[in-house]
Amino acid sequence: MAEMEKKLADLKTRLTEIDDLNNANALLYWDQATYMPPGGAEARGRQSATLAKISQEKFIDPEIGKLLDDLRPYAESLPYDSDDASLIRVTRVDYERATKVSPEFVAEFNIHAAQSYQAWTEARPANDFRKVQPLLEKTLDLSRKMADFFPGYEHIADPLIDFADYGMKASSVRSLFAELRAELVPIVKAITAQPPAEDAFLHQHYPEAEQLKFAEEVVRQLGYDFNRGRIDKTHHPFMTKFSLGDVRITTRVKEDFLGETLFSNVHEAGHAMYEQGIDLALEGTPLATGTSAGVHESQSRTWENIVGRSLGFWEFFYPKLVDYFPEQLKGVSLEQFYRAVNKVERSLIRTDADEVTYNLHVMLRFDFELALLEGSLSIRDLPEAWHERFEKDFGLTPPDDRDGVLQDVHWYAGTIGGAFQGYTLGNILSAQFYTAALKAHPQIPAEMKQGQFGALHGWLKENLYKHGRKFNAPEVVERASGSPLTIQPYIQYLKEKYGALYTL
């Protein structure tokens, strides 16, 4: 076995070098989004492409394939859930995927995505879809080519969905979404037929410094570790990681709205706590990150919605919030505040949507991805199709493309296909994991009212976070919750929560 250990050490050395390159690249991006002066932009794009290229070259090195082949019997001799067996197994999946795509295609795609993203940053404020249309047509073409590196699919979107949410495909997402839609639409109808929650007091002047301070206090209390992280301001909030010891989040502030900074901080802290909770033994390997888009999103949504928009949470935090903003919140009761941060309404923007209508935004985008890839919808007709579908689903007409088809960055910086289903999978899974945690620790809601989140955080670390990518999404869902993916806990959660606020 000494020989196997040597090969394993060789594999780990190579993977850590690749991890170092990827983490340096993540820092290039973080800096660009936070502090970089305008003059740095041009070289930064090139630097990032160089690091990505070297990382890719090093990963698809046939020596890695050979090591993985040689190590296969060794991996199979170890327990399935051992770190080493998992490393060899998961790296093989990544390697097979990476070696199927030609390096020339990866380079072409990255260059196109950078151009396309740049054009989008100008087209969106200018409400000018035609400016990005040819780029988006090329994106669709490249997305199809990407899928075609993985022949044998049932639907052309399948490989793209599988990259983000391992184990899912168009047909399974479609039927899951149909099931969820049948439950959601009556709830949305029932709620929106009733008078909307009063939330004008959230739309007053809330000074930046106090908003940032309160949001920081909240995420610290939830369990985000500032010794291994920090918060900086950006245009679009995100979470990023440079090592398990350095997991950062970014935030933005709207001084005329209280909800933005707080809930986006809690959302990103949810992503970050997942990464901070990964077993340190996995550091420097491909296992040291979250396991899928959907499972990752489940954690941002758990902390943002199930915790951060719960009555118990606000029983603890609302008095503190009032201390920060005594004038603005004068005369606003806990109950009124709770209703306001859970206001349900049909609205234009996915990221601003409430828990109940949010998934309808995702389904619309998911269906368009399939139609575009199938060829039953053209990029040219997309803006019009968006308006029609939006009217049908939301009873609202977007006033322009800016808040329609130009709204989300995803298609302008990545593939068409696989980009959105993870958000709804995350919502579904958040309730499934939370329900399991609650079963193990019935005291969680009582603790929350005391500002204590240790039982929940501990369960999530033990059952989900610490594993990183050792288990794929279906495996970790089954292990942590005791059943495969199911919408029942989520529907039950929504019905209980909104049933107490509205007549359903």
Region 276-335 residues binding a copy of itself, contact defined as CB under 8 A: 283-284
Closer CB to a copy of itself, residue 43 or residue 200?
43
* SS (HEC) of 84-128: HHHHHHHHHHHHHHHHHCCHHHHHHHHHHHHHHHHHHHHHHHHCC
Site size toward a copy of itself (CB under 8 A) is 40
Whether 283 is a known active-site residue: answer no
The alpha carbon torsion through 374, 400, 419, 307 (nearest 10 deg) reads -140
- Token pair for residue 216? 């920081």
Region 10-29 residues binding a copy of itself, contact defined as CB under 8 A: 16-17, 20-21, 23-25, 27-28
Closer CB to a copy of itself, residue 40 or residue 65?
40
* Contact flag: residue 44 with a copy of itself (CB under 8 A): yes
Closer CB to a copy of itself, residue 20 or residue 255?
20
* Contact flag: residue 174 with a copy of itself (CB under 8 A): no
* Contact flag: residue 47 with a copy of itself (CB under 8 A): yes
Closest CA to 249 of 263, 264, 269, 235: 269
Region 216-245 residues binding a copy of itself, contact defined as CB under 8 A: 225-230, 232, 242-245
Measured CA to CA, the distance from residue 89 to residue 36 in angstroms comes to 39
Q: Of 8, 11, 51, 353, which one interacts with a copy of itself (CB under 8 A)?
A: 51
- Token pair for residue 326? 């005594």
Could you give the string, one character per residue 52-71, with x where binding to a copy of itself holds by CB under 8 A and - elsewhere? --x-----------------
Residues composing the chain:
504
In this structure, the strands spanning 231-233 and 246-251 are parallel
Q: HSE on the CB side for 397, CA within 13 Å?
A: 4
Smallest separation, CB 368 to a copy of itself (Å)? 37
Closer CB to a copy of itself, residue 9 or residue 41?
41
* Contact flag: residue 137 with a copy of itself (CB under 8 A): no
Number of Cβ within 10 Å of residue 452's Cβ equals: 15
CA 290 and chain centroid, separation:
10
Smallest separation, CB 283 to a copy of itself (Å)? 7
Closer CB to a copy of itself, residue 227 or residue 503?
227
Smallest separation, CB 47 to a copy of itself (Å)? 4
Closest CA to 128 of 400, 416, 413, 408: 400
CB–CB of 373/156 below 8 Å?
A: yes
* Contact flag: residue 35 with a copy of itself (CB under 8 A): yes
Closer CB to a copy of itself, residue 228 or residue 479?
228
**CB-based contacts of 197: which residues, under 8 Å, 6+ apart?**
339, 340, 342, 343, 344, 501
Q: Which of 42, 104, 108, 268 is catalytic?
A: 268
- Token pair for residue 497? 């929560």
Catalytic residue annotation: 268
Residues that bind a copy of itself (CB under 8 A): 16-17, 20-21, 23-25, 27-28, 31, 35-44, 46-47, 50-51, 54, 225-230, 232, 242-246, 248, 283-284
